[in-house]
Amino acid sequence: MSGNPKQWDGATVRTWLASRYEAARSDQVAAERYGRERQDDCDKGAAEEMICAMLRSSATTDDRAALAAELKRLLDQETYIWRGVYDDTRFDRHVRAYIKRLARMTKANAGFENLARYQ
């Protein structure tokens, strides 16, 4: 399986980030309806929303190396501040996990074409 490696497409990445941003916002709304028992889901959605919002408005999505560097910079941050968070420690854990997921996707250049609602 020695095919040509897929070319990096910044437009596809931005489309994926916008899709995930909207999905994260709707996940938060759904989690809020259940109250205290789904606060972790709400924090997870807030983490995804924050990272997608930061990256989709960034010009770094046009270049794979620049996006990887931006993800590394975000991962090196001490704390993350976002609105509507219930547990800061849990939120930080979700943010770091989501950044690592995006870093793996960026390194492999795979998964950005998947626009399914649930991933």
Residues in the chain predicted with pLDDT less than 50, given as ranges, are: 1-4
User: Which pLDDT does position 116 carry in this prediction?
Assistant: 79
User: Which pLDDT does position 84 carry in this prediction?
Assistant: 82
**Residue 35 zone, left/alpha/beta (φ > 0; ψ -120 to 50; rest):** left
pTM (two decimals): 0.89
DSSP 38: G
User: Which pLDDT does position 3 carry in this prediction?
Assistant: 44
